[in-house]
Amino acid sequence: MLLPNTNLMEATLFAERMLDAVRAIVLEVENVRHPVTASIGVAVAQKGDTLDAASLTACAERRLHLAKGRGRNCVISKDSEQALGPAQQP
């Protein structure tokens, strides 16, 4: 998803709101409830950055894989960041 004119903090907050919305979804199939989860990697390019589209996409994908590796259902916006997953939520 592209969010024009959005800095890293704003993009991370948006991703966290999206994750909260996904967490609220519960699918019911044949009377069995299945929670829906998501892993989100956030990457930002600011005006003047030399980052090309492929590098930006690779950064977001790397962070997505970090989120998945840390138990899924979380947002990662920095490579060294601790994932905000279900166990860490207030």
Question: Residue by residue, what is the 3-state secondary structure of 26-49?
Answer: EEEECCEEEECCCCEECCCCCCCC
64 inside domain: yes
CA distance 80 to 71: 16
90 inside domain: no
2 inside domain: no
pTM value is 0.79
What's the DSSP call for residue 84?
B
For the chain, 90 residues long, give each residue's pLDDT as a single digit of tens. 889 889 999 999 999 999 999 999 999 999 999 999 999 999 998 888 888 889 999 999 999 999 998 888 899 998 665 544 444 433
25 inside domain: yes
Structurally, how many domains does the chain consist of?
1
Residue 40's identity, in one-letter code, is I
Residue 57's identity, in one-letter code, is T
Q: How far is CA 33 from the centre of its chain?
A: 24
Range of the domain at 73: 8-77
20 inside domain: yes
Q: Answer for the pair 26, 34: CB distance below 8 angstroms, yes or no.
A: yes
